[in-house]
């Protein structure tokens, strides 16, 4: 039997796409990688995923897994050879269980993150994973990339929220590791091996995630800071005053918010002059008045000490959503402005102000006029330190000429400051060479050994990560 016939037998002919416009699967979110798939295959159950893997293994045909196709590092689209099967997990859509007493949710990999947040909320519970792509990214993609987002400082990455997995192996077998246990020291941690493996070790088909009680109230505020150093000082103040109530601490540079003003002019910007704007969120189990009083007292202390130049506290849910939309619109505004060079870096929070001062200056010396679109999860020490071509310049041309040199300058500075060149977006196709060059040889050797043990045929996502 040919591979296509075997795939049609496995999932039904209607779910094996080979013709027509397949760009929703073959073109990545950033429009930087356009691949060509041998076929797009859309299984509807774990058993069908396993059957697809067995068929591909028998024909020695590589498989690229895809969820919501929101990867920012070209991880989830096929290469241009037309020889890879694109396996979309989007039809694995079921919420299998919500156990309110155990505070867990078990759902299939293709569930869109926002739909799972909604399902938890309907039961008075919180799934504390949140990112700007949540309307289209999937649970499987979140776990395959160990996604971060805007609530990491309180709840951790996707990894910290995951208790169990169901995975289809490269042999086409199903590992049923779905468990809601908080304690389970029974040998090597296979779950943590698959989380963050970006589709190179196995296909995640379902997961059990931790939930939390919904907070009684959440207060959102913006604070203007004259410098990143002041923003770091404010983080310390917010941590000290709000404790566990601090559930979000994002920073947005002026250049980032100016791009939002240009491309999303209808979004109000309450602090339009601030060199740095902090977006912070406080959650409370004791109600709105309590949360509001704590945030206002904390900001008053910041204003008094001089670290905060101005501040606004959202007065309603609608205002709070508008403030978050400012932050979430930055990647969209950047995309609308043109191709850009993204750096998703992590540093010790204490090192961030000096890193940015020195690296901004070095970039300006070398590439006069470049725009530094710097924003991100300051509470986690994670910046999206992005570089956009000078105003009016052709983004594609700037990238073609300067991307490698810009990356070297930034990543060398990150390494010197003890940081990471990939904080939350992963390696994918974009940073594979960086990983090979910058990770220790011992670490790389261990990673290759794991890959060879779990996927000896090299079926899953070849050319990505390693
Ligand atoms: P895809 O893009 O489809 O795939 C991502 C990778 O995972 C690929 O390597 C793919 O092969 C693999 N994969 C997907 N599903 C599976 C599966 N079921 N089993 C095995 N492998 C699989 N990331 C953050 O961490 N924090 C952020 O704040 C954040 N913000 C974003 C904002 C925007 C606007 C966008 C577009 C992206 C953002 N991302 C962020 C990046 C991205 O990693 C996340 O959106 C998300 O985790 C990817 O999920 P997905 O379902 O779209 O995965
Ligand atoms: Zn981010």
For the entire predicted model, the pTM comes to 0.95
Average pLDDT, integer, range 402-417: 97
CB count, 10 Å around CB of 240?
Answer: 11
Asked whether residue 151 falls in the same domain as residue 167, the answer is: yes
> Do 83 and 156 reside in the same domain of the chain?
no
Query: Residue 239 domain-assigned?
Result: yes
Which of 144, 328, 431 is the pocket-test mutation for ligand 1 (most atoms within 8 Å of CB)? 144
The residue whose CA is least distant from atom 38 of ligand 1 is 133
Q: What is the CA radius of gyration of the chain?
A: 23
Polymer length in residues for the chain: 466
Q: Do residue 102 and residue 200 come from a single domain?
A: yes
Which contacts of 12-19 are long-range, i.e. CB under 8 A and separated by 24 or more positions?
A: 15/41, 15/42, 15/43, 15/44, 15/91, 16/40, 16/41, 16/42, 17/41, 17/42
Mean pLDDT of 193-217: 98
Segment 284-313, tens digit of pLDDT: 999 999 999 999 999 999 999 999 999 999
CA dist., res. 406 & res. 397, Å (int): 14
Residues with CB under 6 A from ligand 1: 29, 64-72, 75-76, 89, 109, 131-133, 137-138, 140-142, 144-145, 147-149, 198-199, 203-204, 331, 424-425, 428, 461, 464
Answer yes or no: do 51 and 115 share one domain.
no
| Residue 252 pLDDT level (bands cut at 50, 70, 90) | very high
| 116 domain residue, yes or no | yes
**Domain containing residue 256: CATH number:** 3.30.70.2190
Domain boundary among 331, 352, 371: 331
Same domain membership, residue 228 and residue 207: no
- For residue 258, is pLDDT > 90? yes
Structural domain including 234 reads 217-331
In a domain, 355, yes or no: no
Q: What CATH code is carried by the domain that includes residue 14?
A: 3.30.43.10
Domain count, the chain: 3
Asked if the structure places residue 408 within a domain, the reply is no
pLDDT at 433: 94
Q: Which residues on neighbouring strands pair with residue 276, listed in sequence order? A: 225, 253
* Residue 361 belongs to a domain: no
Same-domain pairing of 78 and 101 = no
Same domain, yes or no: 282 and 314? yes
74 close to 28: Cβ distance less than 8 angstroms: yes
Ligand 1 atom with minimal separation from the 110 CA:
18
Residue 323 lies in a domain: yes
Both 21 and 43 in one domain: the answer is yes
Q: How far is CA 15 from CA 54, 91, 171, in A?
A: 17, 10, 22
**Ligand showing the shortest atom-to-Cα distance for residue 147:** 1
The mean pLDDT value for 34-38 works out to 97
230 and 274 assigned to the same domain: yes
């Amino acid at each position: 039997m040919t591979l296509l016939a075997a795939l049609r037998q496995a999932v039904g002919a209607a779910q094996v796409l080979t013709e027509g416009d397949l760009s929703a699967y073959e073109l990545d979110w950033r429009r930087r990688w356009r691949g060509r798939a041998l076929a797009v295959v859309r299984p509807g159950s774990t058993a069908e995923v396993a059957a697809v893997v067995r068929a591909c293994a028998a024909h020695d045909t590589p498989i690229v897994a895809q969820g919501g196709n929101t990867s920012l590092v070209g991880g989830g689209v096929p290469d241009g050879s037309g020889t890879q099967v694109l396996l979309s997990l989007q039809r694995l859509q079921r919420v299998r269980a919500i156990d309110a007493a155990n505070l867990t949710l078990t759902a299939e990999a293709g569930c869109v993150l926002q739909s799972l947040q909604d399902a938890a909320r309907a039961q008075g519970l919180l799934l504390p994973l949140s990112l700007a792509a949540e309307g289209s990214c999937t649970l499987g993609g979140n776990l395959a990339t160990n996604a971060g987002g805007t609530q990491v400082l309180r709840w951790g990455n996707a990894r910290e929220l995951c208790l169990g997995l169901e995975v289809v192996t490269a042999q086409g077998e199903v590992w049923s590791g779905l468990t809601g246990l908080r304690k389970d020291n029974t040998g090597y941690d296979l779950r943590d091996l698959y989380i963050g493996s970006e589709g190179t070790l196995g296909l995640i088909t379902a997961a059990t995630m931790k939930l939390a009680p919904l907070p009684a109230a959440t207060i959102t505020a913006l604070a203007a800071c004259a410098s990143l150093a002041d923003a770091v000082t404010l983080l310390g103040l917010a941590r000290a005053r709000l404790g566990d109530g601090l559930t979000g601490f994002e920073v947005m540079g002026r250049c980032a918010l100016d791009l939002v003003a240009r491309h999303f002019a209808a979004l109000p910007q309450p602090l339009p002059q601030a060199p740095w704007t902090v977006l912070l969120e406080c959650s409370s189990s004791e109600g709105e008045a309590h949360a509001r009083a704590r945030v206002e007292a904390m900001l008053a202390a910041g204003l008094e000490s001089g670290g905060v130049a101005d501040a606004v506290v959202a007065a309603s849910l609608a205002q709070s959503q508008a403030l978050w939309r400012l932050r979430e619109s930055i990647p969209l505004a950047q995309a609308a402005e043109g191709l850009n060079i993204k750096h998703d870096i992590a540093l010790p929070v204490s090192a961030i102000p000096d890193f940015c001062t020195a690296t901004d200056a070095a970039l300006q010396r070398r590439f006069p006029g470049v725009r530094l679109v710097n924003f991100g999860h300051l509470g986690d020490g994670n910046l999206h330190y992005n570089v956009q071509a000078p105003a009016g310049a052709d983004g594609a041309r700037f990238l073609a000429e300067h991307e490698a040199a810009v990356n070297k300058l930034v990543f060398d500075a990150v390494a010197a400051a003890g940081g990471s060149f990939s904080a939350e977006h992963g390696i994918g196709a974009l940073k594979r060479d960086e990983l090979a060059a910058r990770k220790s040889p011992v670490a790389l050797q261990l990673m290759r050994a794991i890959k060879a043990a779990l996927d000896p045929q090299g079926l899953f996502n070849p050319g990505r990560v390693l």
